[in-house]
Structure 1
């Protein structure tokens, strides 16, 4: 696979033009990576390791010879020896700020950094955001992407995960909960209207329940507070989401089981209810594959008579899929933006 392979993202194609920065360096790759470019990079670098908050990316990388570290934060041990960071700029500005603060605190002063990203991701703000750490310069621009090099000349402040959680109160009916979330997590600092419509139109729950794509644990927290007897699993592909949901449950003295998973890959159990406000964005792209897989494989993960309830934007074409995979559905509620789809096995 050549460095110009079409399988690489535009951002990685730009990185491939700048391999001199990485030759014989100990490189840590992080951020919005959505290909296997680190495998190519390992041909010129002294070593390559990846820090990722995305479980699917971690799983794919783990099958290669690249060392992959999955979690909400990089531990100091895994940052040892790193002298170059390659950061793929995430679309959420707050997440970019979070990653810079964490990676530079872990890797330390004098670490060099290359930042790459699509211009529409806001990567141009890297210059302003990095200014507190040291100098940074733009070195390349191609394929609607920008590439920067910088050096951490100033001691980065100590990084504490707790400092990055944002809290907000949520009142649903007679329930008031405190939601805790990290940057880059769906519902970070706010409650979306799709989730509200879903919560207001759920059937009575019992048995084993899955909150798929749990984000900050908003839906799951309401479910557990409303139905304390259910056995609840909260699943997400994002380590930042899992950490947020866990913190939300701790804050509200609720019990749940938290699972990092790529759709059903780490969920062997069958459920009585599959509940979801499923994601349809991955980075800057509209991305339906995970939700389509969630629906298609639902029958294999539902007990007999089990139920699937999801909220979706009205423009998303899930009804034919529900019809084909579960034999039918009904619409429990609908407004000008969202529909609540309900299907039984």
Structure 2
């Protein structure tokens, strides 16, 4: 089945549960290169399949964007694992004025509906989930971004132990730019590449890090060419969840990418939850690994290539 430009998909729903037409436009902020659902002209999509995010505010924001983008009576399929928001989908869609058909399969709830002529409550959901400036942090952020409204404790511990760096570096998984701002406070830093797989985080970081030495990339750093080479330093607080499930190999991949991106003698500064087993991959990727802090459930390493 072929799709016109009026068919779209948000995320990667299991094909046995929702099978978007071939050529459906991808709209997920977590898949680099995708179109932005926020930018879709209202009333232009004929059908849309959404793998709904787990966070309540982010999910309602996404549903409101989806309903805004659909033409009247456009087809909407929304699904999520039952324990990650799926059990709330039918009620949330009904709150927007949708008549919902719900099924359960493979631990997911799948809701099918049509866009009503006048959905209820879209403006409130869009306002609640939109980018905003957090006055207590003095930073721009958005619900759905990692640690969107606070400084993550692991990042805080790294900030407490991070020395003034120098040369060319990268912040891998940069989030909204908290680490980057601290790194760029050092006058001997000549360039800093901020890389994140979340488009919303990169957009926030652009607003938060106003420094000509900074560059920004919406990219999956597991892909070739996503990170500059022969760097002097890398800083990171690597993720360990993929699609909501713990994936320790994800953070280990970050460590290997950092090692591949550094010049001989370059340095990695890493923070992580204390239970994550990064020591082995650090030892195999770097010639010298030094624990620098371990408290409050987190640990910090300095590793030299």
Shorter-chain TM-score range: 0.7 to 0.9
**Is 1:139 matched up with 2:118?**
no
- Tell me, yes or no, if the aligned pair for 2:175 and 2:205 is still in contact at 8 Å: yes
Q: Give distance in 2, aligned partners of 1:101 and 1:285.
A: 25
Mark the CA change 1:296 to 1:24 in structure 2 (over 3 Å): closer, same or farther. Answer: closer
How big is the shift at 1:279? 0.6
Q: What is the CA deviation profile of residues 9-40 of structure 1, one whole-angstrom value per residue up to 9, with x for unaligned ones?
A: xxxxxxxxxxxxx9989632114x266x39x9
**Residue 48 of structure 1: aligned partner:** 24
**Is 1:129 matched up with 2:67?**
no
**3-state SS of paired residue (1:188):** coil
Q: What is the CA deviation profile of residues 292-342 of structure 1, one whole-angstrom value per residue up to 9, with x for unaligned ones?
A: 122123332112321001001111110111111112311111104011011
**Residue 165 of structure 1: aligned partner:** 131
Mark the CA change 1:212 to 1:34 in structure 2 (over 3 Å): closer, same or farther. Answer: farther
- Tell me, yes or no, if the aligned pair for 2:2 and 2:23 is still in contact at 8 Å: no
Mark the CA change 1:241 to 1:323 in structure 2 (over 3 Å): closer, same or farther. Answer: same
How big is the shift at 1:162? 11
How big is the shift at 1:81? 5.3
Mark the CA change 1:100 to 1:154 in structure 2 (over 3 Å): closer, same or farther. Answer: same
Q: Give distance in 2, aligned partners of 1:137 and 1:155.
A: 15
**Residue 193 of structure 1: aligned partner:** 153
- Tell me, yes or no, if the aligned pair for 1:133 and 1:151 is still in contact at 8 Å: no
How big is the shift at 1:283? 2.1
**Residue 99 of structure 1: aligned partner:** 62
How big is the shift at 1:274? 0.6
Q: Give distance in 2, aligned partners of 1:211 and 1:144.
A: 36
1:224-239 residue pairs with structure 2 within 5 A?
Answer: 224-227=184-187, 229-239=189-199
Mark the CA change 1:34 to 1:342 in structure 2 (over 3 Å): closer, same or farther. Answer: farther
Q: Give distance in 1, aligned partners of 2:261 and 2:282.
A: 15
Q: Give distance in 2, aligned partners of 1:236 and 1:309.
A: 17
Count matched residues. Answer: 297
**Residue 9 of structure 2: aligned partner:** 29
- Tell me, yes or no, if the aligned pair for 2:293 and 2:300 is still in contact at 8 Å: yes
How big is the shift at 1:71? 4.8
**Is 1:322 matched up with 2:282?**
yes
**Residue 179 of structure 2: aligned partner:** 219
Q: Give distance in 1, aligned partners of 2:218 and 2:74.
A: 30
- More divergent stretch after superposition (22-31 vs 215-224): 22-31
1:1-40 residue pairs with structure 2 within 5 A?
Answer: 27-31=7-11, 33=12, 37=15
**Residue 220 of structure 2: aligned partner:** 262
How big is the shift at 1:47? 5.5
1:173-322 residue pairs with structure 2 within 5 A?
Answer: 178-227=138-187, 229-249=189-209, 253-255=210-212, 256-263=214-221, 265=223, 266-322=226-282
| Structure 1 unaligned blocks of 5 or more | 1-21, 59-68, 171-176
Q: Give distance in 2, aligned partners of 1:206 and 1:169.
A: 30
**3-state SS of paired residue (1:333):** strand
Q: Give distance in 1, aligned partners of 2:156 and 2:257.
A: 26
Mark the CA change 1:34 to 1:140 in structure 2 (over 3 Å): closer, same or farther. Answer: closer
Q: Give distance in 2, aligned partners of 1:120 and 1:126.
A: 11
Moved over 4 A (4+): 22-26, 156-163, 226-229
**Residue 90 of structure 1: aligned partner:** 53
| Structure 2 unaligned blocks of 5 or more | none
- Tell me, yes or no, if the aligned pair for 1:181 and 1:244 is still in contact at 8 Å: yes
Mark the CA change 1:133 to 1:276 in structure 2 (over 3 Å): closer, same or farther. Answer: same
Mark the CA change 1:34 to 1:307 in structure 2 (over 3 Å): closer, same or farther. Answer: farther
